[in-house]
Structure 1
Amino acid sequence: MASPLDLQEQEQLDQLKDFWRRYGTLITSVLTVILLALAAWNGWNWWQRSQATKAGVLFDEIDKAVIAGDADKAGRVFGDLRDNFGGTVFTAQAALLAAKVQLDKAQAEAAVATLRWAAEKAADEGYRRIAGLRLAGVLLDQGKHEEALAALPKDSEGLFAALTADRRGDILLAQGKSAEAVAAFGQALKAFGNEGDYRRVVEAKLIALGSPLPAAAAASGVAR
C-alpha cells in the first residue's frame, strides 16, 4: 500500500510531467535562442578583438613609417588598414598620421584622398571632424575654396564648432569676402567662450580686419 509520501511524490511528478508537456517545447526554444545569442555575442567580441589586434599591428607599421618620413610606405599601410579594418579607430588615427607625412613629402593629392576618406568614413565622429578640418585647410592652401568650404564638418559642437567657424572665416577671407569672414570669426569667438589661447588668434584676425571685438572679448582682452 502506497504511503502518503509516495502519493504526494507521484502527484508532484505527474504535475511536472503535465507542465513539461505544455511548456517544454517553448522552454527549450527560449533556451536555444539565449544560448545562440550568447554564442553570437562571444563570437562577435572575439572577432572585434581579433580585428583590433591585427589593425594594431599595421598601425605600428604606419607609425614607424611616419617617424622615418616614408610617405609611400605610410600610404600603402594606410590602404591596407582602410580596405581590411576600416571600422576600427586605429584606421582613423592612421589616416591622420599618413596624411601628415604625405603633406610633409609634398604628396598633397594623396593627403587629400586620405583625409577625405577619414572625414567621410572614419568610425569615430571626433576623427571625422578633425579630418574634415585638416582637409579644408589643405584645400584652402591649394586655392580650392569651394571644396574647402564643403569639406568643413557639419553640425559641430563645442570646440569643433569654434574651430570650424574659424576655418570658414579663413576660407571666406581668401575669397575676398571680408564681411562674411568677420561674421565667421565672430561665431568662432562666441563658440570658444572666454578662455583659451586659440581665441586670441581669432581676436587678432578680427583686429587685423579692422573689426571691433565683441564686448565680452574686448573686456577679456583688457583683463589680460
Structure 2
Amino acid sequence: MALTPNSPNADNSMQALKQYGSYIVTAILLALAAYFGWTYWQNNHARVDTVAADRYADIQRLNEEVSLAAQNPDLEAEAQASLAESRTQLNKDIDALVNTHGQSVYAWQALMIKARQQVDSDDFAAASETFKKALAIDLGDPGLEAITRLRYATTLLAAGDAKAALTEANNDMPSSFEASQQELLGDIYLAQDNKDSAIKSYNNAWELLRNRKETRAVLALKMESLGIVPEPIEEQTGLIQESTATTQPLVIEDSTEDATGAGA
C-alpha cells in the first residue's frame, strides 16, 4: 500500500526518520568512507609501487653506466668530470627514492647500490651508514635482513670499528647464513688479536660448509694462515651441482667474501 502524506504510516515514518535519521546518515557516510578509503588505498598503493619501481629502474641504469665507465683506467679529464657528475646524480636519485619510498624493497636495493659505490671508493665509513639505513627498513624478510647486517658488520670492520662489527655480527640469523656469520666473526676476532676465537669461528664456518658440501677458497686461505689445514670438502656434483649453478643468483644467501658488495 502506498503511503500518502496524511496517512498514519507516513507520520510514523517521518517521526522515525527524525529520531534516527542522524544515525542512518552517519552509518551511510562511514560505509562510503570505508569503501572509498579502501579503493583509494588500493589505487594509491599500486601507483606508489609502480613509481618506486620506475625510479629504481632509472637508478639501476645509471649505476650500470657509472660502473662501466669506472672500469676504464684511461679516462680523459672530460670523461672523469662526466663520471663524477653521474655519481653525484646517482646518489641524489637514490636519496630521493629513499625519502619518498623508504619502506619499500626498491629503497633497500637502491641503498645496496649506493653502498657498493662507496665500498668501491674505499669509503667504508659512509658505506656503513648506508647499510645502517638499509637495515632500518622493515621488509619482513629475515634473509634480506641477514644480508644487510652481514654487510653492515663487514664495513664497520673495514672502517676500523671491530667492537661495533662484533655486536652486529653476533645477532641471530637464519641457518643458511650461519657459515658466513661464523667466517665474519673469525675476521673480527682476528682483527682484535683473539686468535683462539678466530680459529674456533673459522672451524665452525668450515664445518657448516661441509654439511652443505660447499667450499670457499678464501676461507681456506684464512685458516691456513693461522696454521689450520682444513679438511677437503667434496663438492656436490652432477645434476645437483648444475642446478645450484644455474639458480645461484636467486639464492638469498650471503658470503663474507662478497659481503661488502651490493648484489642488487
TM-score normalized by structure 2?
Answer: 0.62
Residues 177-200 of structure 1: CA distance to partner in whole angstroms, max 9, x if unpaired? 111011212222343343354445
The Cα of 1:63 is off from its aligned counterpart by: 1.3
Aligned residue type for 2:44 = W
Q: What amino acid is the match of 1:63?
A: Q
Q: 1:130 Cα deviation (Å)?
A: 1.5
Q: Is the 8 A contact 2:134 2:148 kept in 1?
A: yes
Whether 1:170 and 2:187 are equivalent positions in the alignment is yes
Q: Does 1:101 align with 2:117?
A: yes
Find the partner of 2:44 among 47, 57, 76: 47
Residue in structure 1 matched with residue 64 of structure 2 by the alignment? 67
- 1:8-27 equivalence runs, <5 A: none
1:125-148 superposed Cα distances (whole Å, 9 cap, x missing partner): 333321221222222222221122
Q: Deviations over 1:65-121 (max 9, x none)?
A: 312324322222221122110111111111101111122234433322211111232
Corresponding residue for 1:15? none
The answer (yes or no) to whether the contact 1:129–1:153 under 8 Å persists in 2 is: no
Give the alignment's TM-score, normalised by structure 1: 0.71
Instruction: Report the Cα offset of residue 37 of structure 1.
Output: 5.3
Q: CA RMSD in A?
A: 3.5
Structure 1 residue aligned with 2:208, among 182, 191, 204?
Answer: 191
Structure 1 residue 120 corresponds to structure 2 residue 133: no
Q: Which residue matches 1:20?
A: none
In 2, are the aligned partners of 1:89 and 1:122 still within 8 Å (CA)? no
Alpha-carbon distance change, 144 to 112 in structure 1, aligned in 2, over 3 angstroms: same
CA–CA distance in structure 2, aligned partners of residues 142 and 201 of structure 1: 21
Contact 1:62 1:73 in 2 (8 A): no
Query: Any idea what SS the aligned residue of 1:95 has?
Result: helix
Match of 1:181 in 2: 198
Displacement of 1:205 after TM fit? 2.8
- Partner of 1:82 in structure 2? 98
What's the offset of the Cα at 1:149? 1.6
Change (3 A) 1:167 1:75: same
Contact 1:95–1:114 (8 Å) recurs in 2: yes
Consecutive unaligned residues of structure 2, counting only runs of 5 or more, are: 1-25, 67-85, 238-264
The aligned counterpart of 1:140 is: 157
Between 1 and 2, higher relative CO (CA 8 Å, sep ≥ 6) is seen in 2
1:44 deviates by 2.6
Q: Which of the pair has more CA radius of gyration?
A: 1
**What amino acid is the match of 2:98?**
R
Q: Is the 8 A contact 1:58 1:81 kept in 2?
A: yes
Contact kept, 8 Å, 2:166 with 2:188, in 1: the verdict is: yes
Q: State the alpha-carbon separation in 2 of the partners of residues 222 and 153 from structure 1.
A: 28
C-alpha contact 1:152 1:164 (8 A) present in aligned 2: yes
The answer (yes or no) to whether the contact 2:213–2:236 under 8 Å persists in 1 is: no
| Distance in 2 of aligned mates of 1:85 and 1:170 | 35
- Corresponding letter in the other structure for 2:117: V
Aligned AA (1:114) = T
**Unpaired stretches in structure 1, ≥5 consecutive residues:** 1-28
The residue matched to 2:227 in structure 1 has which SS?
A: coil
2-structure distance, mates of 1:124, 1:188: 26
Distance 1:166 1:30, change over 3 A: farther
% same residue: 24
Separation in 1 of the partners of 2:203 and 2:148? Answer: 23
AA in 1 matched with 2:65: A
